Amino acid sequence: MVEVSASILSIQPENAIQTLYNLETAKIDYFHIDVMDGKFVENNTTTKMTEYCEYLNSISNLPLDVHLMVEDVESYIHSFSIFEPNIVTFHLEAGKDKEQIMKWIQMIKDKNIRVGISVKPNTNIEEIYEYLPYIHLVLVMTVEPGKGGQELILETIDKIRKLHQYIQKNGLEVDIEADGGINTNNASIITEAGANMIVSGSAIVGSDNYAEVVSRLKNKLS
Tell me the catalytic residues.
34, 179
Local structure of 169: helix, strand or coil: helix
Question: Least distance to ligand DX5 from the beta carbon of 100, Å?
Answer: 22
Calpha distance 190→208 (Å, rounded): 23
Residue 159 in contact with Zn ion, rule: CB under 5 A = no
Calpha distance 155→136 (Å, rounded): 24
Backbone angles phi, psi at 61, to 5 degrees: -100, 0
Q: Residue from 26, 203, 214, 217 that binds ligand DX5 (CB under 6 A)?
A: 203
Nearer to ligand DX5, 95 or 201 (CB): 201
Question: Least distance to Zn ion from the beta carbon of 197, Å?
Answer: 11
Q: Residue from 143, 157, 197, 213 that binds ligand DX5 (CB under 6 A)?
A: 143
CA angle at 63 for the pair 148 and 180, rounded to the nearest 5°: 20
Alpha-carbon dihedral of residues 75, 119, 108, 17, nearest 10 degrees?
70
Residue 116 in contact with ligand DX5, rule: CB under 6 A = no
Centroid of chain to Cα 75 = 19
Q: Going residue by residue from 50 to 89, which x/- string records binding to ligand DX5, judged by CB under 6 A?
A: -----------------x-x--------------------
Residue 202 in contact with ligand DX5, rule: CB under 6 A = yes
Residue 65 in contact with Zn ion, rule: CB under 5 A = no
Nearer to Zn ion, 47 or 102 (CB): 47
Residue 67 in contact with Zn ion, rule: CB under 5 A = yes
Residue 121 in contact with ligand DX5, rule: CB under 6 A = no
Residue 216 in contact with ligand DX5, rule: CB under 6 A = no
The DSSP output letter for 96 is S
Residue 182 in contact with ligand DX5, rule: CB under 6 A = yes
Calpha distance 115→117 (Å, rounded): 7
Calpha distance 123→32 (Å, rounded): 22
Calpha distance 116→113 (Å, rounded): 10
**Which among 31-39, 109-117, 157-165, 186-194 is the span making contact with Zn ion, rule CB under 5 A?**
31-39
Q: Say if residues 2 and 221 touch (Cβ distance below 8 Å).
A: no
200 binds, among ligand DX5, Zn ion, none (CB under 5 to 8 A by kind): ligand DX5
